[in-house]
Structure formats: structure tokens, C-alpha cells
A and B are shown apart, each in its own frame.
Chain A
Amino acid sequence: MHAELTVAEPIEKILDDWDFFADTIVGKFTSFRPVGQNIYGIRRRAITRTEIVDPRKGAFGKFFELGPNGPVEGKFEPMRLHLTTAGTPHRVANSMGFWHINDMDELYLPLPSADGDPLGHFVVIMQTPTGREGESFVFYCQNCFTMLHEVYCPTGALGLPSIFRAEERAVREFNAEAAKRVCVECGHVNPFGYCWNTAKDTPEERDARAIW
């Protein structure tokens, strides 16, 4: 026979982390957290009906996806659901100083700040890679889109923490040698790369974050 729970408090005794948006829980999703079949990230950003402002990165939303005819610019908008399909190279301006190619779909939903709360919820959901699934951190020439450098991460085999190590390794390797940033095809000198996490920025990477 079922025993019904009809009030808010007891549910926490039955289910852990039952509301990812709860003040006591949401901090667990500041970065990325795998739960079951998906990986979740929840960013607390100032989100109105028209704009998204990240407390560390400023105005936020312009992104690029690389298609057969080159990069296509898009914008994350509040109350719009966007899905970047698996295998599509993509990056977010001033947030990801590299191109990300994921074997998994990535789903984004920015929700405006609710009454009385200065920050909204920028929800990111992606499938948890398993087996041989993984992702790459890639640098293309900004002028001709020749691939200049790639670090592949077998996330399905190594787990989520390997992503951040691979990302940092890709950025550091790309930035370490000036020659790596010079396109072998067209000679264009590309800017430094940078990681998603602003805390990892060197002074050069901080400058690069401001420009691309």
C-alpha cells in the first residue's frame, strides 16, 4: 500500500537532490556533474527576457557552430531551447577559447531570473559518454579554418574529470609554441586559446578571452 507524501519537506528524506535548482543543491552543478544517463551544469547568471550576463565573463550568449560552409553564428536567448548536435564543432565567444567537438548532444536552456532572485538558471544537459565515446578540444585557423591542433579525450573510458585535464592540456600546448598558432596554410597568426574556467587564465589568456 502506498504511503503518500504531500508536503515539501519529507521528500528530501526520500530523495537526494530532488530539486537541482534548490539553493542547497544548485552549487553542485556549478561545473558539470554526471547523474545517471546525463551530465548536468547549472550556471547562475543574470538573465532577463532579453539578455544573459555572466558574473565573470560579462555579456554572454554569442556562439559559433562549424558547418560545411564555415562558422555559423548563433545566440543563446532566454526561454529558447538550443541543442548542439553530436559531432558539431562549437564554441562560445569569451567563454571557450577553443572549439569543442562532442560525441554527445548538448542541450541549453537559459531561464530568466525568478521573482526576488537576481540570478537566473542557465541549464546545460548532455548525455554521459560511455564506452568509446569522447570529445575533442580543437583549434582552427580563424582565417581559413585549417585545423591547427587537437587533443582528444576518451571521456567514456576515463570519466568526467578527464575533460578538464584534456581541455587545459589542449590550451597549454597550443599556447606554448608560437609556431602552433601560425596557420600552415595561410600564415595567419591566431590568438592564444583559453580554458572555460576563468580561474585558469594566464595574463595572455585573459587578454585573449576579451577578444574572441
Chain B
Amino acid sequence: MSTEPVLNYDFAVADAAEEGGWRQANRYALWVGRQAQDEPRPYELLEIRGETLVRCPLRPRLMHLIPAGTPHRIAHLFAPWRVSDADTVYLRYAEPEGVYHTLITATARAVKEDRVLFVCPSCGHEMGSLAFDTRPQGMASFWPFLLAEARAFNSDAARRKCGGCGALHPVCYGFDARSDAGDEAAARQAW
């Protein structure tokens, strides 16, 4: 006779925010972060829609869908940009102990890859992109890939020079601030 419990996933968002990192809950990948109410550099969701850079307003409470294929990044959380085959839900909710940020993304048949995208902040020129095979490796493995590609980009002066306007692309950084090395921490503060 089986003694297996019911398979489900249940956790307090406060605990997830404390522990950090991405969680895989069956087909969903989840991340929860929290910042102080008076954080001087609040996480800010940015998207590229067509030729327009859209800054998602810092509402105390919002639920926003980042459709599959939309280049996006969250200022002070990760840079460069991510483009995914998967829809991603972004939640922002201010509570007395701080402002929570949650990202939820599901794997589905349509989800095959995520991409790291470098875009010149000065002129919007695309400076390269790299594909990650999400299906076999899972969403959680994308973020180390992004960090590795960010570091490769940072260390290559030629790649950092924009082919459109000639500006030097700022230093990029990964998703987890605890992994910051060199000038990545300063870059995270800056943009």
C-alpha cells in the first residue's frame, strides 16, 4: 500500500523571499523577492514593445502579464534582457513588512527556449542575443546561463561598444545579487 502524500506545493511567500532563488513547482517556475518600502532602488519592470521601452508603473499592487516573446528585464534585479517562449506573470504587492515581487512562468508545449538579449540603453540597438534550450534544462537553469553570458559580454570590450551609436554598454549582472562579482554589484545599483 502506498504511503505517498498528496503531491502539491505550498509555501509562504515571506519564506520564499527570505530564502531567495527560483522554485520549481511542477510545471511552474516561481520566484519571490521583497524590498523595503523605502528602497531607494526599487525593482522596476521594463519591457520592449515594438520600438517603445515601457516602464511598468510602481503601483502598490499590480498583476501584469509579460507575453511570450516580449523582451523584458527588471532594473536592479537582472540585466541584460530576457525573451522567453513562456508567458511570465509579474506581481507587485506592498505589505507592511515590505514590497513583494513575484514572477511566475509555466512550461507548456509551446515553450522551447529563452533568450538573453543585449540592447543598447542609449539608442535601443540590438547588440546580440543567445538562445537557451529551456525544455530539457528547465527555467531555473536559465539564470546561471544569463549570468555566464552577461560576464562573457562584460569582458569583451568590442561587444560592449554599440554598433548603432558607439556608446559603451554598461556592465551587466545576473539574477542573484549574492553571486555578484567585480563591478556587477555597482552595476546593479546603477541600472
Per-residue CB proximity of A130-141 to B under 8 Å, as 1/0? 110000000000
A59 lies within 8 A of chain B by Cβ: no
Given known contacts A1-B124, A2-B53, A21-B63, is B94 in contact with A72 (CB within 8 Å)? no
- The segment out of B22-30, B143-151, B152-160, B171-179 that lies at the interface is B22-30
**A104 nearest CB across to chain B (Å):** 8
Whether A37 contacts B2 by the Cβ 8 Å rule is no
Whether A81 contacts B13 by the Cβ 8 Å rule is yes
Which interface class (under 10, 10 to 19, 20 to 34, 35 or more) fits A?
35 or more
Whether B89 contacts A38 by the Cβ 8 Å rule is yes
B5 lies within 8 A of chain A by Cβ: yes
Whether A37 contacts B27 by the Cβ 8 Å rule is no
Given known contacts A11-B54, A18-B56, A21-B61, is B13 in contact with A109 (CB within 8 Å)? yes
Given known contacts A68-B4, A107-B104, is B63 in contact with A80 (CB within 8 Å)? no
**B61 nearest CB across to chain A (Å):** 5
Given known contacts A36-B68, A80-B11, is B59 in contact with A72 (CB within 8 Å)? no
Given known contacts A11-B54, A18-B64, A81-B11, is B87 in contact with A36 (CB within 8 Å)? yes
- 6 closest A-B pairs (Cβ-Cβ)? A67-B6, A2-B124, A68-B2, A2-B53, A20-B63, A8-B57
Residues of B within 8 A of A (CB): 1-14, 16, 25-28, 30, 32, 48-49, 51-57, 59-65, 67-68, 86-87, 89, 91, 93-95, 102, 104, 106, 108-111, 123-124
Residues of A within 8 A of B (CB): 1-8, 11, 14-15, 17-22, 35-38, 42, 65-69, 72, 74, 77, 79-86, 88, 104-105, 107, 109, 111-112, 114-115, 121, 123, 125, 127-128, 130-131
